[in-house]
């Protein structure tokens, strides 16, 4: 493989700027992670290693309930957005019409709309139609907001699958639905995985939408953390934050690595498609 030509010497200024940038970006986060292991309540002096704040967290029913709620919201939203977003992508990409282009553009709006506007709007709609605020309304709002991510990613992949491949499937005896299941969806697996994981990660720690659309109890984790900080910062929050960070990092790594695994020669795809058993 040809390698791009690089500068022989790294300019010192660029190195310095990079180091400062990463320090600025990650030091606060690292501090949170570090102090989650502190054995004292202090947030300024590290006195010794301990897991007591994790222990605190795992015995705090309210926080645990919120964690479960947030995981549930993220999972249901990811699946919902995946199904609707993929259907929208298929419609936009495979049914060509002038209206389609307008709809395609409108689809992208949630990506640029300030989230606080989406949140207020969702709240207005829910109270307007008399929906009781609960985890259900959070999920509804999150799905609405996340469809755009799925559609953008899946459409990009779909545009690279020639129409002829689907015609070949039909030519070889597939009904349109079988062609979707046996040929189109397997080819979309990397995009489906990536967008599903992305939506999960985005929704799991989303604060703004959750804040506007959640009911009283149980509250999504970010909302719960925000309200507990108002009564003084407990290092248990550091522990929760560190766990969330670890989960998000894991998801992002998975989203990046899984599609590569599927491009290998292995037939592990069959586990997911199910349709082409040997």
Partner 1 sequence: MNTPAVSLRGLTKVFAGATVVDDLDLDVSSGEFFSLLGPSGCGKTTTLRIIAGFSDPTSGSVLVGGEDVTSTPPHKRDVNTVFQSYALFEHLDVRRNVGFGLRRKGIDRADIDRRVAEMLELVELGARGKDRPSELSGGQRQRVALARALINRPKVLLLDEPLAALDLKLRHAMQAELKSIQREVGITFLFVTHDQDEALSMSDRVAIMNGGVIEQCGTPEDVYENPTSVFAAEFIGTSNLMTGAYAAGAVTVAADLKLPIPGHTGSTDGDQICVAIRPEKIWMSDFTPAMVQTPGTIVSTSYHGSTTQYLVSVGTGVTISVLEQNLPRMRADNRWEPGDRVDIGWLPEHAVVLT
Of the residues 173, 231, 260, 271, which one makes contact with partner 1 according to CB under 8 A: 173
The dihedrals phi and psi of 38, each to the nearest 5 degrees, come to -70, 145
Of the residues 168, 246, 253, 261, which one makes contact with partner 1 according to CB under 8 A: 168
- Examine residue 159 and tell whether it contacts partner 1 (CB under 8 A): no
Of the residues 3, 6, 132, 265, which one makes contact with partner 1 according to CB under 8 A: 265
* Cα 26-31-34 angle, rounded to 5 deg: 125
Q: Which DSSP category does 207 fall into?
A: -
- Examine residue 186 and tell whether it contacts partner 1 (CB under 8 A): yes
Return the range that interacts with partner 1 (CB under 8 A); candidates 82-90, 97-105, 171-179, 204-212.
171-179
Of the residues 17, 165, 246, 256, which one makes contact with partner 1 according to CB under 8 A: 165
- Examine residue 278 and tell whether it contacts partner 1 (CB under 8 A): yes
- Examine residue 175 and tell whether it contacts partner 1 (CB under 8 A): yes
Of the residues 8, 61, 105, 164, which one makes contact with partner 1 according to CB under 8 A: 164
- Determine contact, residues 184/161, Cβ cutoff 8 Å: yes
Min. distance of Cβ 94 from partner 1 in angstroms? 13
Please list every residue from 52 through 81 that binds partner 1, using CB under 8 A.
none
DSSP states of 12-49: HHHHHHHHHHHHHHHHHHHHHHHHTTBSSS-SS----B
- Examine residue 113 and tell whether it contacts partner 1 (CB under 8 A): no
Min. distance of Cβ 176 from partner 1 in angstroms? 8
- Examine residue 259 and tell whether it contacts partner 1 (CB under 8 A): no
Q: Which residues contact 95 (CB under 8 A, 6 or more apart)?
A: none
65-70 long-range contacts (CB < 8 A, ≥24 apart) are 65/218, 66/218, 66/219, 66/220, 66/221, 66/223, 66/224, 66/225, 67/221, 67/240, 68/218, 69/135, 69/218, 69/219, 69/220, 69/221, 70/204, 70/205, 70/220, 70/221, 70/222
Min. distance of Cβ 187 from partner 1 in angstroms? 6
**Contact set with partner 1 (CB under 8 A):** 162, 164-165, 167-175, 178, 183, 186-187, 189, 265, 267, 269, 276, 278
């Amino acid at each position: 493989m040809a390698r791009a030509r690089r500068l022989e010497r790294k300019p010192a200024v660029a190195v310095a700027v990079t180091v400062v940038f990463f320090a600025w970006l990650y030091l606060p986060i690292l501090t949170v992670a570090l102090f989650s292991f502190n054995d004292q309540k202090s947030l300024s002096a590290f006195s010794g290693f301990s897991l007591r704040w994790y222990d605190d967290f795992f015995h705090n029913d309210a926080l645990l309930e919120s964690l479960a709620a947030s995981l549930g919201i993220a999972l249901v939203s990811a699946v919902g957005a995946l199904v609707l977003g993929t259907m929208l992508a298929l419609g936009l990409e495979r049914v060509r019409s002038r209206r389609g282009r307008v709809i395609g553009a409108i689809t992208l709006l949630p990506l640029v709309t300030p989230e606080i506007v989406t949140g207020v709007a969702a709240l207005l709609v829910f109270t307007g139609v008399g929906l009781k605020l609960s985890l259900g309304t959070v999920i509804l709002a999150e799905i609405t907001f996340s469809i755009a991510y799925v559609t953008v990613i899946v459409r990009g992949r779909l545009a690279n699958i020639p129409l002829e491949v689907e015609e070949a499937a039909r030519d070889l005896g597939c009904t349109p639905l079988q062609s979707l299941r046996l040929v189109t969806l397997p080819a979309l697996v990397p995009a489906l995985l990536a967008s599903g994981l992305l939506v999960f990660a985005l929704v799991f720690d989303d604060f703004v939408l959750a804040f506007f659309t959640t009911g009283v109890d149980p509250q999504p984790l970010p909302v719960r953390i925000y309200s507990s900080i108002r009564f003084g910062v407990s290092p248990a929050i550091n522990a929760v934050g560190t766990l969330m960070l670890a989960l998000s990092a894991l998801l992002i790594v998975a989203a990046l690595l899984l599609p590569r695994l599927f491009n290998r020669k292995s037939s592990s795809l069959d586990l997911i498609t199910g349709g082409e058993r040997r």
